[in-house]
Chains A and B, each alone.
Chain A
Amino acid sequence: MPLSSSAIRANLLLLRGGCGLFVSSRLASSAMLSTRPYKLHKLESGPASEAQVTSDEARKYYRDMATVRRMETAAGNLYKEKAIRGFCHLYSGQEACCVGMEAVLDRNDPVITAYRAHGWTYTRGVPVKAVLSELTGRASGCAKGKGGSMHMYNHNFYGGNGIVGAQVPLGAGIAFAQKYREDKRVCVTLYGDGAANQGQVFEAFNMAKLWDLPCIFVCENNKYGMGTAVERAAASTAYYTRGDYIPGLWVDAMDVITVREATRFAKDWCLSGKGPILLEMETYRYHGHSMSDPGTSYRTREEVQSMRQMRDPIASFRQTLLTAELVAEEELKEIDQSVRKEVDEAVQAAKTNAVPDPKELYTNVYSQPPSGQPNYRIRGIDQFTWSAN
């Protein structure tokens, strides 16, 4: 990543050889880091080309990305051990997107996404333990074990949605609620390159633009809709332009600062009453679509390897931080170790925590039993299930 001249100067001044005993007072407390170039659609200007990043921020972004990466690896292993069953869609490779966006959002900005949701669930404030427990169907899971991989929720995080594209009109609706209540908030509505061809997405675009909704539509384009490369599914793969009358930004989402500045730009855009905006986050997933997909029948191993080696968001951010002397290598190692410990403990909890109470099979269908029917019971359940309580 290109560095500003001040960072280069700082680097040259602090050249040292040998074993590299590093005194932390020589670290910069902040640095100007460049963002990668953007592409604009119906916008006169775009996000900043460089941004101030403090060492605290740097540590946080690194830590969060490293946690998501390790959490997803753990989830993959749990799946292979059959502790997790069903469907499990891993976010590894896309960490810069959720971490970079969350750097600008606050917990009052609602977010809704599709099924590749574990990374977002974590950045939305759900601890690793609760994510992994939800995957293994434990009562300590963030949806009481009732949702599984694709249905994780938290305050101002509306999931986790299994049906492709269905979350996009929902996001427009949430944005409308924000506007109606005059909350100065944006709703971030994410979908993938596959979902970009769903009709309901365009219905949501129309409503959002018609009514100037503070909605940031985000297409997380990881180049493949399950096993189908984008060129084979879409007449136009310039997803950032497909909002047509909605202005758009193409973002290299393998860099967390680039994502952050794009989000800042988008949030300012929406909150200044200009209506919705569409961000295309061009990113990559290392694993297959889900744990049932090896991910190599429709792309080469070389392609995946090359992305891991050349464009990994965590490795490249690590390199940037070290070069800009924002964080010491020892600190990064400590962060790695602490993340590993946190995830290992979460894995243990996910494997051993209690399963939900059997009554969870039939609770939360409605808000409460219909009034006037004190003996109301969910139909179809018989004495085998009742007697389990």
Chain B
Amino acid sequence: CRSLAARLGPVCLDAASFSHRRLSFGPQFVYTPESADKSLGETSRMNLFQAVTSALDNTLANDPSAVVFGEDVAFGGVFRCTVGLKDKYGKDRVFNTPLSEQGIVGFAIGHAVAGATTVAEIQFGDYIFPAFDQIANEASKYRYRSGNHFNCGSLTVRAPIGAVGHGALYHSQSPEGFFAHLPGIKVVIPRGPIQAKGLLLACINDPDPCFYFEPKILYRSAVEDVPVNGYVLPIGKAEVLIEGSDVTLIGYGTQVHVLREVARLAQSELGVSCELIDMRTILPFDEETVYASVCKTGRCLIAHEAPLTGGFGAELAASVQEHCFLNLEAPVRRVTGHDTPFPHIFENFYLPNQRRCLAAIKDLIGY
């Protein structure tokens, strides 16, 4: 059988022998398609961006107040998430905005406060920061500050996030950590097409403002048979994808698929049984599921692409150690992006890849 070292690849790196291409792999995973509940009815083969389109289509069809806007959404969007919607529902309901993120989100908040179902798109999560004031100071606080007189609950903001292998500093970021720090909003990240459609529809129907981040590398690579009718999946509920007994692996979005492979390798190479949890919702996160799992296994590994310090993993780790302390066999580990800007070069060293996660599991088991 192959040794772990051979599996993990060379630890010592001779920079000169690397071509530029090999230094920017992006997240390494194989997408495992899932199947939808039979009770949801007829399905159609969709990738993640088509699942998003389907959710928006259902929304525009059933809710006359619903509008979809953002940069370049009318022709279908740079990631094809809104293809066909303008032709079907008209340019009054599916329209382009100028290049003004703060304006887009502020405008969207106002529209939602007035009672309309508003789905705004920010073209890349990396561009959302001009709008951060609107999100932090307007959207998240509206209901609270008005004593429930007003709210912008019918607002959903969608944005693509995450590494693709060549996105570099401004097309690869994972900003969910910043948003996890804002009481009053909800933050959701799907792992695949079936999840994407159900969670997006849940966000749109949710009575609080929702921020829905789509892992852009999954737009085309994740393909499943997705129900064509509308359906919702629960917000605030994590999902145990693999049951195990030795280590709890926690991730969301693309990282879930990396962790699937890690779980498989941990079993075959180390004889370690991993339980895999997809958080699905970052805020408010599903404490029960996480604590129940870690209390059972005694070991916890959290992985995300975003940098380490102050990342969402830090919140999970602090909460887990607080609630599961006596059950822990080892300190909670986080395998994350480094505390540097997302790099133009050496992306595959930066990301929480399988090698790094497996090494962390080894540490957890051997503690």
Q: Does A125 contact B (CB under 8 A)?
A: no
Q: How many residues of B contact A (CB 8 A)?
A: 51
Chain B nearest CB: distance from A150 CB in Å? Answer: 7
A325 CA to B108 CA, complexed, in Å: 60
Among the listed B170, B171, B343, B355, which residue makes an inter-chain contact with A361, where contact means beta carbons less than 8 Å apart?
B343
Whether A354 contacts B340 by the Cβ 8 Å rule is: no
> A145 with B345: in contact, given A355-B15, A380-B307, A388-B15 (CB under 8 Å)?
yes
A357 CA to B18 CA, complexed, in Å: 11
> A87 with B168: in contact, given A354-B16, A355-B15 (CB under 8 Å)?
yes
Chain A residues with CB under 8 Å of B346's CB are: 356, 358, 360-361
Whether B168 contacts A226 by the Cβ 8 Å rule is: no
Whether B171 contacts A234 by the Cβ 8 Å rule is: no
Chain B nearest CB: distance from A100 CB in Å? Answer: 26
> A138 with B20: in contact, given A162-B169, A358-B349, A380-B336 (CB under 8 Å)?
yes
For A216-244 the 0/1 string (1 means CB < 8 A from B) is 00000000011110001110000000000
Chain B residues with CB under 8 Å of A297's CB are: 75
Chain A residues with CB under 8 Å of B15's CB are: 354-358, 388
Whether B344 contacts A137 by the Cβ 8 Å rule is: yes
Q: Does B337 contact A (CB under 8 A)?
A: yes
A146 CA to B20 CA, complexed, in Å: 12
Q: Interface stretch among A195-203, A248-256, A275-283?
A: A195-203
Whether B170 contacts A137 by the Cβ 8 Å rule is: no
Chain A nearest CB: distance from B103 CB in Å? Answer: 7
Chain B nearest CB: distance from A3 CB in Å? Answer: 41
Chain A residues with CB under 8 Å of B356's CB are: 382, 384
Chain B nearest CB: distance from A389 CB in Å? Answer: 9
Chain B residues with CB under 8 Å of A83's CB are: 20-21
Whether A151 contacts B338 by the Cβ 8 Å rule is: no
Interface size class of A (residues with CB under 8 A): 35 or more
Q: Does A381 contact B (CB under 8 A)?
A: yes
Chain B nearest CB: distance from A371 CB in Å? Answer: 18
Q: Does A46 contact B (CB under 8 A)?
A: no
Whether A225 contacts B167 by the Cβ 8 Å rule is: no
> A233 with B98: in contact, given A226-B72, A361-B349, A381-B338 (CB under 8 Å)?
yes
Chain B residues with CB under 8 Å of A82's CB are: 21
Whether B130 contacts A199 by the Cβ 8 Å rule is: yes
Interchain residue pairs with CB less than 8 A apart (7): A87-B171, A137-B344, A195-B99, A197-B99, A199-B103, A361-B346, A378-B339
Residues of A within 8 A of B (CB): 82-83, 85-87, 136-138, 145-148, 150-151, 162-165, 194-195, 197-200, 225-228, 232-234, 297-298, 354-358, 360-362, 365, 378-385, 387-388
The 3 tightest CB contacts between A and B, nearest first, are A380-B308, A85-B166, A388-B13
Beyond the given A225-B98, A226-B72, please list 13 additional residue pairs across the A-B interface where CB-CB is below 8 A: A85-B20, A85-B21, A85-B24, A86-B171, A145-B345, A146-B343, A146-B344, A148-B344, A162-B126, A197-B99, A354-B16, A358-B349, A361-B340
